[in-house]
Structure 1
Amino acid sequence: MGSRKYFGTDGVRGAYGSAVMNEAFAWRLGAAAARFARERGAASPVVYLGRDTRASGASLEAALAGGLAAEGFQPVSLGVVPTPAVSLALRQAPAAFGVVITASHNPAADNGIKFFGPAGIKLTDDEEARIEALLPATAGAGGAALGSYDARSLYVATAARLLPAHCLRGWKIVLDGANGAGCQTSHAVLTQLGAEVVAIGCTPDGRNINEGVGSQHPEPMAAAVKAHGARVGIAHDGDADRCILCDENGDVLDGDEILTVLALHALKGGRLARGRLVITVQSNLGVDAAVAAAGGTVVRTPVGDRYVIERMLADHATLGGESSGHVICAEVSPTGDGLVAALKVLEVMLASGQPLSVLRRQLTKFPQVTAALTVREKKPLEGLPTLPATIAALERELGAQGRVLVRYSGTEPKLRLLVEGPTDAVVHGALARLEQAVRADLEVV
């Protein structure tokens, strides 16, 4: 695997105005990506640029376009669109590659840049490392004339065809767009299918993306479902590649529950390729038990939807995702798509005649607790004096009845802790011991 300095688990990300998230660096990154595409023999000079609703997006897009143009490529703006709409555009209208300017679920003060290859699939670690190696030393001063392409209409039309016309007539659905890129597109599709949509988090102003709403903050969605007597709630993140749901009782479903509902429905109909579901090490062990009981198997990857997708491609799997709400339905799209995930769950509800409150009972989660500690420095975990021994001791104590996961976030200065075990008391006690060890070894802020 190539060594990467700037790319994390989902592109380059940071506070806008920082050393890696400013116009000069965006220009350099655009130039480097163009050099990479030329090196790989790109068949088209066109590059698609999409972005979310952050105020910093337009100027970063212009800078990226300048770097692309300086290397002889033709930047084409898709405007504000969900991340999966960029992937779809690449598959429908050939281009050298695509770029999405987004920091996903992060606050508005952050932004990010991630790349898709010509087949609409995120780049690998090695490909990102090669782009870093091709970065010019300094940014140029040139801009670029941006072309345009209506990827939004393409995305809406394609998604609306996933379910029968007017099949949601009589349904009331709460949509929380996180004040992000999916506000208009998801609303348009649900409305076309006949639903009455109650919209929250759908008034972006460039500064309020993910602010108290969206997949990271499902409470407003749950409250709206109960207040309006809706049948289901749907919440996206800032670039709408995630989906978190809420049943008619106002109870929230995470990605594990969504994936279990979809996997078991597909297994029952003989449509889950190789009977296999691909998830990450973050997902609850209850998913493995539910899928195994239905005759399927689960494969786990490192955290990051890119790694899920890579494994799905290698295994010819059709369903995978993360507990965070990234769900990949490969028969529709080779990347996470919050709207597609929601529509697929609605399809199960329609086919089964069961409300989401019943369907969710197919997953019984193992007791699990998590924590995310902000650290001053990401020191190598294996070299710490206290934490490795604590992890080893807990793993011995839990045995086959649980597990411990400790990892650094790939997008934030955080150390993430997860413990699963037989009882709530056991997992809370184990988490407390982990946090104590972390504080002994690292400066927590």
Structure 2
Amino acid sequence: MKRQYFGTDGVRGPYGGPVINETFAARLGFAAATRARKAGQGDGRVLIGRDTRGSGQRLLHALAAGIAAAGLRPVSLGILPTPAVARAVLTGGASLGVVITASHNPAADNGIKFFSAGGSKLVDEDECEIEALLPDDTSAFLAGMPASGPATLVAGEDGIMDYCAALSRLLPVRSLAGWKIVLDTANGATCLTSAAVLRGLGAEVIPLGDRPDGANINAGVGSEHPEAMAAVVCATGARLGVAHDGDGDRCVLCDETGAVLDGDELLTILATHALARGRLAQNTLVITVQSNLGVDRAVQAAGGRTLRTPVGDRYVLEQMRRTGANLGGESSGHIVCSDVSPTGDGLVAALSILGVMRETGRPLSGLRRILQKFPQGTRNLRVRERRPLEELPGLAAAIGSIEKRLAGRGRVLVRFSGTEARLRLLVEAPDETETLRGLDELETAARQELAVL
């Protein structure tokens, strides 16, 4: 069954649009809570967190109205990173977790994503069931909703304190004393958590993007704009920089020279370090089709293997559960350390890298050399509509031609974004000239068959 509303990471879109609005939030809350109630897991509470977008509070009230109408008890945790909500669901025995966020998207967007009773993201089948339960009419439970909303408000500090305490235990007490770290929290949900943990471990934190106003989340800061973090690292002589996205489920880092490391580099560092110490479960790293071929080569050279999934950290999580792997992630910076967190967690990833730096005594600029990337080029084409790729024979022919020419010396990936109306093109090849040639051919074919804006 094809999903109508859910993408690769929940439901997302412009606030006030056809999907992200109070009416649909109430419908979605009712459907998700109905499914959770029928499943009979957990204590009947639905824990709700949100990022710093101005629209979050309004969506919270509507979402909670739908949840309450379905017979479960909505509990607002306030502003809290996505992985902190997942952890709270897992450790607190709740029936469902919800986060109101559009992650790295601009402030004008918002979204809703869910976690099951065990703190894991829903799979496709779960989301199909929720869509099938969407009610046509919400007037009955929206009409009587008070202005303050029906959510049982719980001090957000409770969730923050529990999360920070758990993550502070990942490194020895005061083990970062003398470390200067630039931290960019994207004016988002990690503003109250990541700095507290790093400072608690003894680090000197230089904050960036830590003054949310409801409209500035991800605006020129955060993981989508790592150049801001890198510039401050260079200016202050910091040992490294950490940049989160708006909801804190991913991060990118930069080394002491200001060079930015993406998720592929972080995963390779973590995987090869774990392999050398017998800590990588099943000797397996789970990555997506988006990751660079260099990751496979580096992990194989260290004695491990890689498994690839479709794009989306929940697909990574599914594969990890199936195979018993304990490390996986995406080039975008979603990194899952399942021994520590039930979902992707940017702060866990950063602390894990800091742990490798401490154990090896090596700077990040030295650790990153383990990954030799294949030249990779990407392009994102904004399109009027997402059409099945099998309906685009010209594009398919271009893909086949490039793959034949590369003959195993690279790869081609063409896919539509799961959250935006964009066609994503990727080519990896032995050299930059061949990479650009492949991208040009793909874009030409795409423009002939799609309405590119």
Give the secondary structure class of the aligned counterpart of 2:11: strand
Q: Aligned residue for 2:244?
A: 236
Matched length: 444
Letter in 2 for 1:229: G
CA distances 1:203-262 after superposition (whole Å, capped 9, x unpaired): 110101011111011000000000000001000000000010000000000000000000
- Of 88-97 and 225-234, more deviation after overlay is shown by 88-97
Query: Map of 1:217-366 to 2, 5 A cutoff?
Result: 217-366=225-374
What is the alpha-carbon distance in structure 1 between the residues aligned to residue 407 and residue 121 of structure 2? Answer: 36
Q: Aligned residue for 2:376?
A: 368
What is the alpha-carbon distance in structure 2 between the residues aligned to residue 411 and residue 108 of structure 1? Answer: 15
Offset at residue 377 of structure 1 (A): 1.0
> Which of 141, 147, 163 is matched with 2:153 structurally?
147
Q: Aligned residue for 2:65?
A: 66
Q: Would you say the 8 A contact 2:22–2:58 is kept in 1?
A: yes
Q: Would you say the 8 A contact 2:37–2:72 is kept in 1?
A: no
Offset at residue 201 of structure 1 (A): 0.8
What is the alpha-carbon distance in structure 2 between the residues aligned to residue 429 and residue 211 of structure 1? Answer: 33
Offset at residue 106 of structure 1 (A): 0.4
Offset at residue 382 of structure 1 (A): 1.1
Offset at residue 43 of structure 1 (A): 3.7
Letter in 2 for 1:97: L
CA distances 1:398-432 after superposition (whole Å, capped 9, x unpaired): 11101100000000110000000111100011101
Matched, 1:88 2:87: yes
Unaligned ranges ≥5, structure 2 = none
Q: Would you say the 8 A contact 2:34–2:71 is kept in 1?
A: no
What is the alpha-carbon distance in structure 2 between the residues aligned to residue 231 and residue 181 of structure 1? Answer: 24
Offset at residue 42 of structure 1 (A): 3.0
Structure 1 consecutive aligned stretches of length 4 or more whose deviation exceeds 3 Å: none
Give the secondary structure class of the aligned counterpart of 2:193: helix
Q: Would you say the 8 A contact 2:10–2:113 is kept in 1?
A: yes
What is the alpha-carbon distance in structure 2 between the residues aligned to residue 145 and residue 275 of structure 1? Answer: 44
Matched, 1:26 2:32: no
Matched, 1:195 2:203: yes
What is the alpha-carbon distance in structure 2 between the residues aligned to residue 393 and residue 429 of structure 1? Answer: 12
Offset at residue 383 of structure 1 (A): 1.1
What is the alpha-carbon distance in structure 1 between the residues aligned to residue 342 and residue 41 of structure 2? Answer: 20
Q: Aligned residue for 2:56?
A: 57
Q: Would you say the 8 A contact 1:318–1:329 is kept in 2?
A: yes
Offset at residue 315 of structure 1 (A): 0.4
Give the secondary structure class of the aligned counterpart of 1:418: strand
What is the alpha-carbon distance in structure 1 between the residues aligned to residue 40 and residue 205 of structure 2? Answer: 45
> Which of 411, 414, 418 is matched with 2:419 structurally?
411
Q: Would you say the 8 A contact 2:76–2:151 is kept in 1?
A: no
Query: Map of 1:415-430 to 2, 5 A cutoff?
Result: 415-430=423-438
Offset at residue 363 of structure 1 (A): 0.3
Offset at residue 263 of structure 1 (A): 0.3
Offset at residue 44 of structure 1 (A): 1.8
Q: Would you say the 8 A contact 1:65–1:146 is kept in 2?
A: no
% identity of equivalent residues = 62
Q: Aligned residue for 1:37?
A: 36
How large is the RMSD of aligned CA atoms in angstroms? 0.8
Q: Would you say the 8 A contact 2:42–2:117 is kept in 1?
A: no
What is the alpha-carbon distance in structure 2 between the residues aligned to residue 78 and residue 43 of structure 1? Answer: 17
Q: Aligned residue for 2:395?
A: 387
What is the alpha-carbon distance in structure 2 between the residues aligned to residue 180 and residue 197 of structure 1? Answer: 17
What is the alpha-carbon distance in structure 2 between the residues aligned to residue 339 and residue 382 of structure 1? Answer: 39
Offset at residue 145 of structure 1 (A): 3.9
Q: Aligned residue for 1:442?
A: 450
Letter in 1 for 2:76: S
Q: Would you say the 8 A contact 1:278–1:299 is kept in 2?
A: yes
Structure-2 change in CA distance of 1:112 and 1:145 (3 Å): closer
Matched, 1:396 2:404: yes
What is the alpha-carbon distance in structure 1 between the residues aligned to residue 58 and residue 415 of structure 2? Answer: 33
What is the alpha-carbon distance in structure 2 between the residues aligned to residue 151 and residue 119 of structure 1? Answer: 17
Q: Would you say the 8 A contact 1:320–1:327 is kept in 2?
A: yes
CA distances 1:5-43 after superposition (whole Å, capped 9, x unpaired): 000000000000011100000001000011101221234
What is the alpha-carbon distance in structure 1 between the residues aligned to residue 314 and residue 245 of structure 2? Answer: 17
What is the alpha-carbon distance in structure 1 between the residues aligned to residue 433 and residue 22 of structure 2? Answer: 49
What TM-score do the two structures reach when normalised by structure 1? 0.99
Letter in 1 for 2:126: E
Give the secondary structure class of the aligned counterpart of 2:102: coil
CA distances 1:367-392 after superposition (whole Å, capped 9, x unpaired): 00001100001111111141111111
What is the alpha-carbon distance in structure 2 between the residues aligned to residue 130 and residue 217 of structure 1? Answer: 37
Q: Aligned residue for 2:217?
A: 209
Q: Aligned residue for 2:11?
A: 12
Offset at residue 78 of structure 1 (A): 0.7
Give the secondary structure class of the aligned counterpart of 1:401: coil
Q: Would you say the 8 A contact 1:105–1:237 is kept in 2?
A: yes
What TM-score do the two structures reach when normalised by structure 2? 0.97
CA distances 1:133-160 after superposition (whole Å, capped 9, x unpaired): 0001021324314231521111111111
Matched, 1:99 2:118: no
Letter in 1 for 2:66: G
What is the alpha-carbon distance in structure 1 between the residues aligned to residue 222 and residue 204 of structure 2? Answer: 19
Give the secondary structure class of the aligned counterpart of 2:37: helix
Offset at residue 110 of structure 1 (A): 0.3
